[in-house]
Structure 1
Amino acid sequence: MTPQPSARERLLDAAEDLAALQGMTSTPVDEILGRARVSPATLYAHFGNKEGLVVEALKRRLARWDSTWQECVDEAVAPEEKLLAVFTALARHRTSLTPSRWCVFLGASAETPAPGNDLADTLASDTRLLVDRLEALSAAYLQGAPAKVLADRITLVYTGVLGMILRGSDAEAAIADGRATAALVIRALAGGDHAESASRP
Structure 2
Amino acid sequence: MQRVFLRLAGALALLSPTLAHADEPINPERPGFTNGAATVGKKVLQLEEGITRSAGTNTLGDGGILRYGLSAQTELRLGIPSWQKATKFSTGSYGVKTTLCPNLGLIVQTSAERPTQTQAALEAEFAVTKDWTLQVDAVRDSRWASGFNLGRSLTERLGMFVEAYRTGSWHGDGGLTYQLTPDQQVDLSGGDHFVSVGYSWRLR
When normalised by structure 1's length, the TM-score is 0.26
Higher percent of residues as strand: 2
Bigger CA radius of gyration: 1
Higher percent of residues as helix: 1
When normalised by structure 2's length, the TM-score is 0.26
